[in-house]
Amino acid sequence: MINYHHKKFRPVTNSENGEVDNDTVFVYQQKGNIISCHYAGHQIIQGHLIGLVDEGGVIDMRYHQINKKGELMTGICRSTPKYDNGKWYLYEEWQWTSGDFSQGNSVLEEIG
């Protein structure tokens, strides 16, 4: 199982209705099967997520963030890890639980 503790990720793709891009950095912490993360960049002033990691490294999470418009946005996400070319990628399926409740997909890449 992947251990996300102190790992950093950056989006390489995202749906148009998402608020993150490659300027957004996610910094993960993990204790047991509980994961948390803080993130910021691009349209996000501050964001946090909390979730559970299963034995295969799949994350079931909830997130909340404040965007540059001053809006509090919330959502749910399922991230599936894949190891390729010496780094981890997270393939995400997400949905807003605020705003327009739309869905999207993103891919995050492990960074330094």
Domains of the chain and CATH, by start? 8-111 (2.40.128.30)
Residues 6+ apart with CB under 8 A from 81: 2, 56, 57, 58, 88, 89, 90, 91
Q: What are 79's strand-pairing partners? A: 59, 92
Strand partners, 23: none
pTM of the model: 0.95
Phi (first) and psi of residue 37, to 5 degrees: -160, 145
Q: Which residues pair with residue 67 across a beta bridge?
A: 44
The pLDDT profile of the chain, 112 residues, written as one tens digit per residue, is 799 999 999 999 999 999 999 999 999 999 999 999 999 998 999 999 999 999 999 999 999 999 999 999 999 999 999 999 999 999 999 999 999 999 999 999 999 8
Cα 10–chain centre separation: 9
